[in-house]
């Protein structure tokens, strides 16, 4: 299959990044959020990101216009009938994702491959709500999508080889390096990363160090581009907590118990950069 038409549903941090790189790669992209104002925000973000590339001399004005011209914005799922591949990047909520995939399965033509950008939920479970579980796969991107090189591909139990080939093709088209993970909770990267971020929250909670010192120590001591608290704020504390809760439920192992401080911050609506406050204050 040659993927020409890509649909992306949910245009928050991850979805808008996927839309941008796909349009830059020459694909025709249909982007949708059920909330139209999020479409407007994503559109502005992509325009800003591409304009920065023009300023740096990495993209011409014509290419910027052509890239934006390849993106169509909609709030209607009905418009997705004729896509080759549809990537879901909505909120990390299993019920919401299941509901969306049931609807997409009804709307999309037989050829359409469905994919989820979930960071932790069972891809097999999501595949099973459709009548095309063989044409279903996990495509896990990383934030910021235009910068991060990795695409983690997750095969559901039911995914067939033709669908895996589509995943490889989209990875190549978007200039990402592929790593394939089995469908086990949080896959490879988040299974490793999220307990680390949680441990940093415990280190803060127990007063072992200040937020600044924890981040500085990890940056300088381990050569990480961001400290773990800064990275948690960047990813979203709600996302970090949601992944931890999935790991805890799935494996029943106390090592995945979320730090109470992290849970409290989420309850307060302190979700990190996107709300202006998390471990740090961005106001
Ligand atoms: N969109 C597009 N480009 C961006 C960007 C964005 N949001 N943020 C930064 N960039 C680009 C800059 O334009 C710059 O490009 P250039 O080298 O061509 O000039 C380059 O990235 C470096 O940016 P900066 O100099 O502004 O800033 P830094 O050097 O501090 O890098 C960073 C910023 C790339 C975000 C770096 O801090 C980093 O790699 N942080 C870690 C990110 C990470 O770990 N992401 C994974 C999170 S986990 C995840 O996503 C999974 C999920 O399921 C939870």
Q: How far is it, in rounded angstroms, from Cα 114 to Cα 167? A: 10
pLDDT of residue 153: 98
Whole-prediction pTM value? 0.95
Q: How far apart are the first and last CA of the chain?
A: 47
The two most distant CA atoms of the chain are separated, in Å, by 56
Rg (CA), the chain: 19
Stretch (H or E) spanning 112: none
Query: Please, what are the domains in the chain?
Result: 5-181 (3.40.50.720), 191-275 (1.10.1040.10)
**Two tokens at 93?**
């909520």
Contact 185, 247 (CB under 8 A): yes
Contact 236, 272 (CB under 8 A): yes
Q: How far is the CA of 279 from the centre of ligand 1 (A)?
A: 19
| 36-55 vs 13-24: helix crossing angle, rounded to 10 | 50
- State if residue 118 touches ligand 1 by the CB under 6 angstroms criterion: no
224 is catalytic: no
- State if residue 49 touches ligand 1 by the CB under 6 angstroms criterion: yes
pLDDT of residue 19: 98
CA neighbor of 256 nearest in space, from 206, 192, 182: 192
User: Which atom of ligand 1 lies nearest, measured to the CA of 236?
Assistant: 54
pLDDT of residue 103: 98
Q: How far is it, in rounded angstroms, from Cα 230 to Cα 244? A: 18
Active site residue: 140, 158, 230, 232, which one? 140
Q: How far is the CA of 119 from the centre of ligand 1 (A)?
A: 18
- State if residue 18 touches ligand 1 by the CB under 6 angstroms criterion: no
Q: How far is it, in rounded angstroms, from Cα 172 to Cα 208? A: 44
152 is catalytic: yes
Q: How far is the CA of 169 from the centre of ligand 1 (A)?
A: 24
Q: Give the mean pLDDT per block of 10 residues along the chain (283 residues).
A: 93 96 97 92 96 96 97 96 97 94 98 96 97 98 97 98 98 98 97 98 98 98 98 96 95 98 98 97 93
140 is catalytic: yes
Strand partners, 264: none
């Amino acid at each position: 299959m040659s993927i020409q038409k890509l649909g992306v549903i949910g245009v928050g941090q991850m979805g808008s990044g996927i839309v941008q790189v796909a349009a830059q790669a020459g694909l025709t992209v249909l982007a949708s959020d059920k909330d139209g104002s999020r479409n407007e925000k994503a559109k502005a973000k992509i325009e800003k990101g591409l304009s920065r590339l023009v300023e740096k001399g990495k993209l011409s004005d014509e290419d910027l216009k052509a890239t934006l011209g390849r993106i169509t914005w909609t709030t209607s799922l009905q418009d997705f009938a004729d896509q080759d591949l549809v990537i879901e990047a909505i909120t990390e909520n299993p019920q919401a994702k299941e509901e969306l995939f049931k609807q997409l399965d009804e709307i999309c033509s037989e050829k359409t491959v469905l994919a989820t950008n979930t960071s932790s939920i069972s891809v097999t479970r999501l595949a099973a709500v459709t009548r095309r579980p063989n044409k279903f796969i996990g495509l896990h991107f990383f934030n910021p999508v235009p910068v991060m090189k990795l695409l983690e591909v997750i095969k559901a139990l039911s995914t067939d080889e033709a669908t895996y080939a589509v995943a490889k093709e989209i990875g190549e088209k978007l200039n990402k390096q592929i790593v394939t993970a089995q469908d086990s909770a949080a896959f490879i990267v988040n299974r490793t990363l999220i307990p680390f971020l949680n441990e940093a929250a415990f280190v803060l909670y127990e007063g072992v160090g200040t937020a600044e010192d924890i981040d500085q120590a990890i940056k300088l001591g381990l050569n990480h581009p961001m400290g773990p608290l800064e990275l948690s704020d960047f990813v979203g504390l709600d996302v970090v907590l949601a992944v931890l809760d999935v790991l805890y439920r799935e494996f029943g192992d106390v090592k995945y118990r979320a730090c109470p401080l992290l849970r409290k911050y989420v309850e307060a609506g302190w979700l990190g950069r996107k709300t202006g406050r998390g471990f740090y204050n961005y106001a």
